[in-house]
């Protein structure tokens, strides 16, 4: 639900583009997964275009696997402005990657986005809805969620249940109705007591759940899970059809 008062709005983001993309092999033996083309442009450009449309002024892009290719791809991009966070020495996973980039993200709230987060919108733009729903009085983190029943290419059991207030809990049965869609809003304060080196953002999700402060915002549209080479062609068809 929308916040009841004006909250600081994210103006910066980090796009997590450092992963190995192992399930996308053999393509990712020579091309980083963020630069795989789906629907006429790279996954990374889908993410950066969404951020630009949402008014994000500056985006950190972290790099590790085939890093020079990613750096060359974004060097001339104007919106959002790009800053590279270099993880060539050690791949830090999602949480560690965000933590390393905190000095580049500033003191306010920011968006963290997987570089392969793809969706087709049928209602309010997803990032605008997420930003409107952000309320730090109630939330440590706010996640963009996809409805499991309205997703493409996903055959897992789901991740979360969500109550009427938007508060999240981990899947407790065989199936949960919502999937984490790879986008969240948070602040750097959450990382004060986190490990050095690699760790997953799931650590922060679970801490926020324990405090009753992990919330979700459901995507109005279709989330696309493009994890293997075989998923690319059908995803292209869905994007072309706009559904």
Is residue 173 predicted with pLDDT exceeding 90? no
Q: Is residue 203 part of a domain?
A: yes
160 falls within a domain? yes
Give φ, ψ of 22 to 5 degrees: -65, -35
Domain limits at 125?
A: 12-241
Q: What is the pLDDT of residue 108?
A: 92
Residue 56 within a domain: yes
Per residue, the 3-state secondary structure of 60-86, as one string, reads EEEECCCHHHHHHHHCCCCCCEEEEEE
**For residue 93, what is the domain's CATH number?**
3.90.550.10
Does residue 3 lie in a domain region?
A: no
Predicted pLDDT of residue 191? 96
Answer whether residue 149 is part of any domain: yes
pTM of the model: 0.92
Task: Note the pLDDT tens digit of each residue in 129-147.
Answer: 999 999 999 999 999 999 9
Is residue 1 assigned to a domain?
Answer: no
pLDDT attached to residue 181: 96
What is the tally of structural domains in the chain? 1
Q: Give the model confidence (pLDDT) of 178-236 as tens digits.
A: 999 999 999 999 999 999 999 999 999 999 999 999 999 999 999 999 989 999 999 99
Q: What is the pLDDT of residues 44-87, one digit of tens each?
A: 999 999 999 999 999 999 999 999 999 999 998 889 999 999 99
Would you say residue 121 lies in a domain? Answer: yes
- Is position 166 within any domain? yes
Average pLDDT over the chain reads 93
């Amino acid at each position: 639900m929308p916040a009841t008062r004006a909250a600081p709005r994210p103006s910066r983001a980090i796009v997590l583009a450092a992963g190995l993309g192992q399930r996308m092999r053999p393509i990712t033996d020579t091309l980083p997964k963020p630069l795989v083309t789906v629907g006429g442009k790279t996954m990374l450009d889908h993410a950066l275009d969404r951020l630009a449309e949402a008014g994000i002024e500056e985006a950190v892009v972290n790099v590790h696997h085939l890093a020079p290719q990613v750096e060359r791809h974004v060097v001339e991009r104007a919106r959002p402005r790009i800053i590279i966070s270099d993880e060539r020495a050690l791949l830090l996973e999602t949480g560690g990657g965000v933590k390393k980039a905190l000095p580049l993200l500033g003191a306010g709230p920011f968006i963290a986005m997987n570089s392969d987060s793809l969706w087709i919108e049928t209602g309010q733009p997803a990032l605008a809805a997420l930003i409107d729903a952000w309320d730090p009085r109630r939330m440590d983190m706010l996640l963009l969620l996809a409805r499991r029943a309205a997703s493409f290419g996903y055959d897992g059991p789901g991740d979360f249940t969500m109550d009427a207030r938007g508060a999240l809990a981990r899947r407790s049965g065989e199936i949960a109705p919502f999937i984490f869609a790879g986008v969240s809003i948070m602040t750097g304060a959450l990382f004060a007591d986190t490990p050095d080196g690699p760790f997953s953002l799931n650590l922060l999700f679970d801490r926020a759940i324990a405090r009753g402060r992990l919330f979700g915002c459901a995507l109005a549209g279709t989330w696309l899970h493009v994890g293997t080479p075989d998923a690319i062609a059908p995803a292209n068809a869905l994007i072309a059809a706009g559904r």
